[in-house]
Amino acid sequence: MENSSSRRKRKDVDVSQGPPKKRKGGAMRIHGVINTPPILGENAPSSSRQGTPVNYPVHDLNPDCTAKNPNLTVIFFHGITYGIDDAWKQTWTTRPIDGKEECWPQMWIPKDLNGNVKILSLSYDSNVASVHNDVTKIGQNLIQSLVTDSRYETLWDGPVAMVAYSFGGLVLKSLVVEMHKHVSQQQTNNLDVKVQKGCEKFLKNLNGVVFYSVPHAGGTQDLSNYFRWLHQQITKDPTQLGLLGNMDSFDRKMEQLSIDFINSTRKDINIYAFVEGLPIDNEWGILVPWTSAIRLSKNNNCKVEDANHLTICKPPSKEHLSYSKLLECLKFFMKV
């Protein structure tokens, strides 16, 4: 494992603007007003390219909400990236506004939902999926980060919502599936009983999920090529593609994960999907097609006509469809 000093020296790769030939001026820097939130976990994780992190950090994006039973707890899942320290920032920023970018879940949602909401953003090592050839390991570790921590126990007594972008949607579904396994299995020792009860409470109060361009039933060849590029940025090894290496296998895994997810949630859970409306550019097309993006949401979906896969969760304003519709969903999830 890397020690903390080596992790601080390492620069995370920002993959949010696509493959190098599509980028201008090198890697994007985060210029905007992004307040670094506290990490809700005394042991911020060490991670290894070849190993599984012991624990993943949970960032509190609204520390002003100190209620043990907020009106709603919203958990955000970032897209695939190398490194975990700033991964949530890379995903959940606005498009540049007056030359600046903001972390909109942190800056907008608490005010628009009148403050009494807990906004959490998870960070996890995307490379674990490549190493283990699935996302199960990430889901298992996120249970440890969320359910076994006594500071979160009362949050799961109230309504919960989850929001995910792209690869983060696969992680979200894996987390839910792994939680359901704990609930359905007979556990014996005290720790397992605690985890089981925590998972049961979480799933019972999970009112809604929102997906931004998640390949529930696989994707296009461009998505395959894009994931290959992402994997190479993460591992620097083009020969070990793991989960991302075979699109046919990937599609089958995504379809099965979607089936397992639906079987692990309440029958009346609310699912909403945002669908990309534009290709990335003249060379890269639509990465997640309509049929795959709406696989789980039925009629509860919205095509964002002016957004591609890289900008689908980067609203330029509060009035933009990619934010205003999400806000409607969260208000609904509070009342269910």
C-alpha 253: how far from chain center: 18
Cα-Cα-Cα-Cα dihedral sign, residues 32, 302, 163, 87: negative
pLDDT per position as a tens digit, 260-274: 999 999 999 999 999
Provide the phi-psi class of 236: left if phi over 0, else alpha when psi is between -120 and 50, else beta: left
How many Cα atoms sit within 13 Å of 9 on the Cβ side?
Answer: 5
Output the pLDDT for position 288.
92
pLDDT per position as a tens digit, 245-255: 555 677 788 88
Alpha-carbon span 262 to 176, nearest angstrom: 9
Q: Are 211 and 273 in contact (CB under 8 A)?
A: yes
Closest CA to 169 of 281, 77, 261, 51: 77
Output the pLDDT for position 13.
45
pLDDT per position as a tens digit, 109-145: 999 998 899 999 988 876 655 444 567 778 888 888 8
Output the pLDDT for position 128.
56
CATH superfamily of 29-335: Alpha/Beta hydrolase fold, catalytic domain (3.40.50.1820)
The owner of tokens 């090894």 is 237
pLDDT beneath 70: ranges in the chain = 1-55, 81-85, 126-134, 186-191, 227-228, 230-248, 336
* Average per-residue pLDDT for the chain: 78
- Pull the structure tokens for residue 14: 């920002």
Output the pLDDT for position 304.
97
Output the pLDDT for position 9.
36
pLDDT per position as a tens digit, 187-209: 455 557 888 889 999 999 999 99
Phi, psi of 260 (to 5 degrees): -65, -35
Closest CA to 265 of 217, 218, 216, 208: 208
